[in-house]
Amino acid sequence: MKWITRERPKIDRLACPWLIKRFIDATAEIIYVPENQVLDQAKERNAIPFDIPGVEYSHYQDRCTFDYFLEKHQLHQDPALQTLALIVRGADTDDHTLAAQSAGLWAISHGMAFNISDDQELLEKGMIIYDGLYSWAKHLQKQKHTTHPTEQIFLQAYHQFLEEKKDAPQKVPAWAQHLKEIIQDQIDTNLTLNLKEIAEALDVNPAYVSRAFSRYFDNLSFGEYIRKLRIEKALNLLHTSGYTLAEIAYLTGFSDQSHFTRIFKQQLGQSPSDYRKSLRKK
């Protein structure tokens, strides 16, 4: 089976060939050509085009081509591939809030593309990277080298706040409210923009952005979309950390554990605690 896509791969066009070769067709031939030649070359070589506009295997909704491969070939039930999909999507769409590893994958992939001019050699090196990521996702997620220092600062302050609250429950210190703002800014980077600011940056009427937002973001309003991103961040923490649910609620920008539980259950049909229990059974 032959697959063809644009030259100079970085994220999706390395991740998808890895997925093809490891889970769909071990003998697959991956072809890279200039973008304006992909469709013509696909016909001439009897190859399947991917990761270009207007073909079946491409981006859809807020997902990337890697996600489509998982759904199309019924690979989405593999938890390790689900984890990998979040990392790839975050790196490929520049939304590094989706997974802690997305920024690293983006940096490594772009650095490799800068250093290696031959696309087939780039693919060969990329296969090693994705083999490593998959092994980590399948076997090593719970192993920690160090804990994220920013998260530790937030959690220390959060636990200090809880201790003070026990002694004086009627009074919330000013720094605690400021802590919420810091968490919001640092963990939900770029998720605190309001529609007016977005519209001004895009030079589009705010009322139009408000009306049209759901049309291009999975039929979700702006607020619903932000909550969806927070839940995806929470899912990553449930998979990769030992934080309590209250800690995860604060680290993902929810006002408290109750709010987090309610939104999580609305979107996934089960509570975060039930979800975590199901992970432990796997």
For residue 208, the surrounding DSSP H or E stretch is helix 206-216
Q: CA-CA distances (angstroms) from residue 41 to 38, 47, 94, 121?
A: 5, 8, 29, 21
Cβ atoms within 10 Å of 104's Cβ, excluding its own: 14
- What pTM does this model have? 0.54
Pick from 106, 6, 110, 109: which is nearest to 50 by CA? 6
* CATH architecture type of domain 149-281: Orthogonal Bundle (1.10)
Q: Are 4 and 50 in contact (CB under 8 A)?
A: yes
Quote the pLDDT of residue 106.
Answer: 94
Q: Are 3 and 30 in contact (CB under 8 A)?
A: yes
Kindly report the length of the chain: 282
Q: Are 239 and 141 in contact (CB under 8 A)?
A: yes
Residue 109's pLDDT band (cuts 50, 70, 90): very high
Provide the percentage of residues in the chain whose pLDDT is more than 70. 74
Q: Are 104 and 148 in contact (CB under 8 A)?
A: no
Q: Which residues face 4 on adjacent strands?
A: 31, 49
Q: Which residues contact 243 (CB under 8 A, 6 or more apart)?
A: 151, 155, 237, 251
Tokens of residue 96, six digits: 């590094």
CA angle 238, 244, 247 (to 5 degrees): 95
Domain locations along the chain: 2-140, 149-281
Which segments within 34-108 are labelled E, that is strand? 48-49
Read off the pLDDT of residues 203-246 as tens digits, 9 standing for 90 and up: 667 676 677 767 777 787 767 777 888 888 889 889 888 889 98
